[in-house]
Amino acid sequence: MRGIYLVGTDTEIGKTVISAALVYILCKAGYKTAYFKAALSDAEELNGKLIPGDTEFVCSLSGIQEDYEKLTPYIYKTAVSPYLASKIENKPIDIQVIKDKLTKLENEYGYVLCEGSGGVICPITDVDNKIYTLGNLIKDMKMDVILVCRAGLGTINHTVLTVSYLKNNGIEVKGIIVNQYEENRLCKDNINMIKKMTGIPILGVMPYINENKKNFIEELKYNACNIFKADEIAGLMKEV
């Protein structure tokens, strides 16, 4: 079983879009791949059941047919971080449950792509003044990371600091994916500086796509197939 964690430098940078793109090309190429997101907030309620939008989107695009609760153990309605939502809704997160669910997926699928909730230092739990972060989970599960960053203003600082934190905590960054790219001097220079300052390979550059466009899904699939190589992504996944 092979897996990797996809982590973002910030919130709202398109981690789910990139996750969907990668899972899509892996499944399309014949790699039996699952998607996993430990906790999700801001879920919509439908017929008394919470629907994890990110998980639904990835499954819809890639063709994965699984119960959402199997892929996302903790689902919250409140539109704040999953950690805070768990407190507000009085539904605490159990780290062992997350680990067990992920291990079960790893045993059923050949490949698992995990998407982080927020950045690597985002807390998942705070029990008895012991804060457990996304980074702790990644390290405990012995996984490597693909880092997603935005192309625009501020990304150099966010990306270099995140890479530094991961390296200092013994987590290997296998590559960087630049999202929301626009054809201008700023974005080009940002990518060049990130390569120079981190020494991490750029796995792909995804152009900005308006999610409200009528042909958003078709454009995302087209870009995914033309930007990423399934064999390369699968090869980055560490055996766990």
Q: What string of DSSP letters covers 111-140?
A: EEEEE-SS-TT-EEEEETTEEEEHHHHHHH
| DSSP category for residue 200 | P
Cα dihedral 78, 80, 85, 88, rounded to 10, equals -80
Q: Is residue 208 annotated as involved in ligand binding?
A: yes
77 catalytic residue (yes or no): no
**Residue 17 annotated as binding site:** yes
64 is in an annotated binding site: no
Both tokens of 193, joined, read 């500086």
Query: Does the annotation flag 12 for ligand binding?
Result: yes
Query: For 40-55, b where at least 16 C-beta lie within 10 A, e where not — what string?
Result: bbbbeeeeeebebebb
Is residue 169 annotated as involved in ligand binding?
A: no
> Would you say 48 is a known binding-site residue?
no
Check the annotation: does 90 bind a ligand.
no
| Given 37, 101, 174, 221, the catalytic residue | 37
209 appears as a binding residue in the annotation: yes
179 among the known binding-site residues? yes
6 near 17, Cβ under 8 Å?
A: no
Interatomic CA distance for residues 80 and 61, integer angstroms: 25
Report the alpha-carbon distance of residue 178 to residue 214 in Å, rounded: 23
- 118 assigned ligand-binding residue: yes
- Per the annotation, where are the binding residues for substrate? 41
The catalytic site residues sit at 37
Residues annotated within a binding site for ATP: 12-17, 54, 115-118, 179-180, 207-209
User: Which amino acids are annotated as binding site, given as ranges?
Assistant: 12-17, 41, 54, 115-118, 179-180, 207-209
Known binding positions for Mg(2+): 16, 54, 115
